[in-house]
C-alpha cells in the first residue's frame, strides 16, 4: 500500500508486468517484420516510472508523452490490442494506423499525443492546464519526457509559464541515463534536475524508479499539489535496458555497465517486494501467465488486423472536400499493372 492513494502494490506490479510483456512483444513484432517502421523505442527498465506516475493520476487527467511512451499509455488504461495494432500500422489501431509507435493519441483516455520531437509534447500540457484552471475541472495534465529534454529550451518556457500562472501541471522526466548514445553526464554539468525546477518556482522532486511504490507515493503527492494550483516537477531515475531503438546495439556502453544497469529492474524488485510481503510465488506466476496470455492475444490481433485502404491515407489529414494527393501506393499499383 502506498500513502498517496490506495492503489494496492499488487496493482502497480501487475501494470509493470503488463508493460514489460507488451514491450517484449513489440520487439517480437519488429523481428517478425510486422511493425510499421523500425523506430520502436522500448521502455523496458522504465516500468516503475510509467506505472508509478500513471496510476497516481486520476480519470479525467491528461498527458503527453515522448517517443518512448507505450508503457505510460498502458498505465493510463490503453487497450493493448489497439496499441499493438497502431504500432503495426493497422486500421484498428488507436489512430487508424497513421500514428504508429511514436504518435499515438486518444482523447477519451486523456492522451493528448506522443511526440517524436524531443520536448515537443511539453507545452501542450501547459495549454491543457490553463484550460482546466479556467474551467475549474479539477484535472491535472502531465508531460512525460526523457532526460534529453532537460537540455531543451521549450521545457523552460513551459515550466516558467506553468509556475507563473499556477497551473495544474506536472512535468515528469524519465531519466534513463541516455539520450540516444549520449550519457547524461556528457550532456549536462548539473543532474540535479529538481533544483532547476525549483528555480522556476515549481515543486521539485527526484525519485528512484526501481521502487514503484516510492514513485507512486511521490507522484501522488505532487499531483495533489498540482490539483491545488501548485505545479510540480518529478524526475524518475532508471536505466534503459536496451538500445535507443530496435536497431541500436548500444556500442557506446560496456557490458559491465549494462549488467549493472539491468539489475535496477523495477519488475523483479516489485515481485520480490510482494513475495517478502507474503504473496505466494505460484500466485505471482499465475498473474504473470495471465499477462502473457493477454499480450499474446494483443500481438495476434495486430498481426491479423487489416491494413488501412490506401485511399484512407489522407483522411483526417486534409480538410474534407479539398483536393487530395494520390497515394503513392495507388500510383505504383497502376504502373505495375501496366507493365
Ligand X SMILES: Cc1ncc(C[n+]2csc(CCOP(=O)(O)OP(=O)(O)O)c2C)c(N)n1
Q: Which is nearer to ligand X, 120 or 168 (CB)?
A: 120
| Contact between 147 and Mg ion per CB under 5 A | yes
- Contact partner, 118, from ligand X, Mg ion, none, Cβ < 5-8 Å per class: ligand X
Near Mg ion by CB under 5 A: residue from 7, 43, 115, 176:
176
Helix spans in the chain (H) = 9-31, 47-54, 70-75, 80-87, 122-135, 153-164, 193-199, 212-227, 255-262, 266-276, 281-304, 328-338
- In this chain, which stretch among 56-64, 146-154, 192-200, 309-317 interacts with ligand X, using CB under 6 A? 146-154
The radius of gyration computed from the CA coordinates of the chain, to the nearest angstrom, equals 20
* Contact residue for ligand X among 20, 70, 244, 271 (CB under 6 A): 244
CB-CB neighbours of 26 under 10 Å: 26
Three-state DSSP class for residue 182: strand
Apex CA 54: angle with CA 229 and CA 56, to 5°?
Answer: 55
Cα–Cα distance, 264 to 96 (Å, whole number): 36
Q: List CB contacts of 335: < 8 A, sequence separation 6 or more.
A: none
Window 57 to 116, contacts with ligand X (CB under 6 A): 66-68, 116
**CB of residue 266 to ligand X, shortest distance in Å:** 15
Q: Which is nearer to ligand X, 180 or 317 (CB)?
A: 180
Residue keyed to cell 505532487? 222
* Shortest spacing between CB 325 and Mg ion, in angstroms: 36
CB of residue 181 vs ligand X: minimum separation in angstroms? 9
Task: Count Cβ atoms below 10 Å from residue 143 Cβ, excluding itself.
Answer: 31
180 binds, among Mg ion, ligand X, none (CB under 5 to 8 A by kind): ligand X
* Other CB atoms within 10 Å distance of the CB of residue 160: 15
Neighbours of 280 (CB within 10 A): 10
Nearest approach, Cβ of residue 172 and Mg ion (Å): 13
Q: Minimum Å distance from CB 245 to ligand X?
A: 8
Among 16, 53, 75, 118, binds ligand X (CB under 6 A): 118
Residue 117's binding partner out of ligand X, Mg ion, none, with CB under 5 to 8 Å set by partner kind: ligand X
C-beta of 52: minimal distance to ligand X in Å? 16
Residue ranges binding ligand X (CB under 6 A): 41, 66-68, 116-118, 146-149, 176, 178-180, 240, 244
Amino acid at each position: 500500500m502506498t500513502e498517496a492513494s490506495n492503489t494496492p502494490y499488487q496493482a502497480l506490479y501487475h501494470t509493470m508486468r503488463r508493460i514489460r510483456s507488451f514491450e517484449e512483444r513489440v520487439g517480437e513484432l519488429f523481428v517478425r517484420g510486422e511493425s510499421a517502421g523500425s523506430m520502436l523505442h522500448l521502455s523496458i527498465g522504465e516500468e516503475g516510472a510509467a506505472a508509478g506516475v500513471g496510476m497516481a493520476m486520476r480519470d479525467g487527467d491528461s498527458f503527453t508523452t515522448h517517443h518512448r511512451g507505450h508503457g505510460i499509455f498502458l498505465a493510463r488504461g490503453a487497450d493493448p490490442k489497439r496499441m499493438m495494432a497502431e504500432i503495426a500500422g493497422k486500421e484498428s489501431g488507436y489512430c487508424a494506423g497513421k500514428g504508429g509507435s511514436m504518435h499515438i493519441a486518444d482523447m477519451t483516455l486523456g492522451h493528448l499525443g506522443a511526440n517524436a520531437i524531443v520536448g515537443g509534447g511539453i507545452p501542450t500540457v501547459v495549454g491543457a492546464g490553463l484550460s482546466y484552471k479556467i474551467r475549474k475541472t479539477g484535472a491535472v495534465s502531465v508531460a512525460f519526457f526523457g532526460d534529453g529534454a532537460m537540455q531543451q529550451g521549450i521545457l523552460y518556457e513551459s515550466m516558467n509559464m506553468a509556475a507563473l500562472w499556477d497551473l495544474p501541471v506536472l512535468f515528469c522526466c524519465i531519466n534513463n541515463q541516455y539520450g540516444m548514445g549520449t550519457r547524461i553526464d556528457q550532456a549536462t554539468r548539473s543532474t540535479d534536475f529538481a533544483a532547476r525546477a525549483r528555480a522556476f518556482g515549481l515543486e521539485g522532486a527526484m525519485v528512484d524508479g526501481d521502487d514503484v511504490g516510492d514513485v507512486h507515493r511521490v507522484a501522488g503527492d505532487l499531483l495533489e499539489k498540482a490539483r491545488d494550483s501548485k505545479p510540480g516537477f518529478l524526475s524518475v531515475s532508471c536505466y534503459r535496458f536496451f538500445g535507443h531503438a530496435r536497431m541500436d546495439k548500444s556500442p557506446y556502453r560496456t557490458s559491465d555497465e549494462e549488467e549493472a544497469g539491468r539489475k535496477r529492474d523495477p519488475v523483479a524488485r516489485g515481485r520480490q517486494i510482494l513475495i517478502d510481503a507474503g504473496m505466494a510465488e505460484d500466485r505471482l506466476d499465475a498473474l504473470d501467465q495471465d499477462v502473457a496470455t493477454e499480450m499474446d492475444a494483443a500481438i495476434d490481433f495486430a498481426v491479423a488486423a487489416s491494413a488501412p485502404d490506401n485511399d484512407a491515407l489522407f483522411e483526417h489529414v486534409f480538410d474534407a472536400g479539398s483536393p487530395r494527393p494520390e497515394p503513392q501506393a495507388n500510383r505504383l499499383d497502376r504502373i505495375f499493372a501496366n507493365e
